[in-house]
Amino acid sequence: MQHQVLINTARSLMTPGKGILAADESTGTIKKRLDSIGVESTEQNRQAYRNLLFTTAGAEEFISGVILFEETLFQKADDGTPFPHLLADKGVIPGIKVDQGAKPLSGSPEETVTEGLDGLRERLAAYAEAGARFAKWRGVIDIAEDRPTDYCIHVNAHALARYAALCQEAGIVPIVEPEVLMNAKHSIERCEEVTAAVLDAVFAELKRQNVLLEGMLLKPNMVVSGKYCPQQAGIDEVAKATLRCFRRCVPAAVPGIVFLSGGQDDEDATAHLDAMNRLGPHPWPLSFSFGRALQSPALKAWGGQAANVPAAQQAYLKRARNNSAAVRGEYNAEMEGAA
């Protein structure tokens, strides 16, 4: 039965001690990442970089699923194996980013709404055929003095629920990602207030559109101080504010929360996750679906040189291992020094 397929996939993604690698950077975003190491964003270089990540021996001990971009879903590893098959053979579940990006919101053009619903039913069928068992859609909410508007929160929540319902119809677990950006100067209190309003709107829409909560995962921001806020909240404050907010807004039927890193320092993201898990048990398991906080050191270590692949893989494995420890509430800063 479809429901059971969804529930089983969601549970496998939340295997204790494991989390998700977000390697679904769009063509524009991966270009920025590759530019930062002086590597040209050609299809070949993108394949080489993803090949490095996905063939890292032992990562499957810490990683339950990988979110791919469409190009990567249909690419092959160096040995000719399609990437989704390579991952599935290691017991890692392949996923797919299905949104088509945040676009200016008409009527409030400083804000965005995420597009990609037209034709999504047909695309999902093709992605499932290629091996994808879960998906991701990111709505983006920006904080400023007069933002977000209720209008922006509402349209993004509505689109997230439309997407989630279509995924479940196709037997694909939707990761519902409403991201409140940290790239501003707001306080942690303001982040908590906005995050709560967004989560309330998202769950109201998910229910209205008959989304099975047991067959989805939530991928939110943590409740943190804006990056340019002069008063930065400490690790314990972030953990407590995030948990208070989620306990108020996220139904216990949701089988897991997998945080995004959102531009946090890698080690801070790990420490925050660890601090939350030390305060458990919670109504839902808490894990990670990090992009930058899993990949940044590996990207730098690689630098586009084949000779650096082993060093880059070690760097990725270290972040995966330390975040796995944080999922168990067993991380400590000394582990960053360890080889």
**DSSP E strand stretches across the chain:** 19-23, 63-68, 93-97, 102-105, 108-114, 134-141, 173-180, 217-218, 257-259, 286-290
Q: Is 302 helix (H, G, I), strand (E, B) or coil?
A: helix
Shortest distance (Å) from residue 216 CB to ligand 13P: 16
Q: Does residue 109 have a cis bond before it (omega within 30 degrees)?
A: no
138 binds ligand 13P (CB under 6 A): yes
Return the DSSP state at 80.
Answer: S
- For 153, list phi and psi in degrees, rounded to 5: -60, -45
Size of site (CB under 6 A) for ligand 13P? 10
- For 179, list phi and psi in degrees, rounded to 5: -105, 115
Span interacting with ligand 13P, options 86-94, 186-194, 198-206, 287-295, rule CB under 6 A? 287-295
For residue 301, how many C-alpha atoms fall within 13 Å in the half-sphere facing its CB?
19
98 binds ligand 13P (CB under 6 A): no
262 binds ligand 13P (CB under 6 A): yes
What number of H helices and E strands is found in the chain? Answer: 12, 10
65 binds ligand 13P (CB under 6 A): no
Annotated active-site residue in 177, 179, 192, 205: 177
260 binds ligand 13P (CB under 6 A): yes
Shortest distance (Å) from residue 259 CB to ligand 13P: 8
Residue whose beta carbon is closest to ligand 13P: 291
Compute how many other C-beta atoms are within 10 angstroms of the C-beta atom of residue 169.
12
Single residue of 163, 284, 290, 331 touching ligand 13P by CB under 6 A: 290
Q: Catalytic residue at 185?
A: no
163 binds ligand 13P (CB under 6 A): no
Span interacting with ligand 13P, options 2-10, 71-79, 207-215, 256-264, rule CB under 6 A? 256-264
How far is it, in rounded angstroms, from Cα 209 to Cα 12?
Answer: 25
322 binds ligand 13P (CB under 6 A): no
Q: Catalytic residue at 177?
A: yes
Annotated active-site residue in 97, 136, 219, 318: 219
Question: Which residues does residue 176 pair with via DSSP β-bridges, in sequence order?
Answer: 137, 218
Single residue of 10, 13, 21, 22 touching ligand 13P by CB under 6 A: 22
Binding site for ligand 13P (CB under 6 A): 22, 138, 177, 260-262, 290-293
Instruction: Give the residue numbers marked as catalytic.
Output: 177, 219
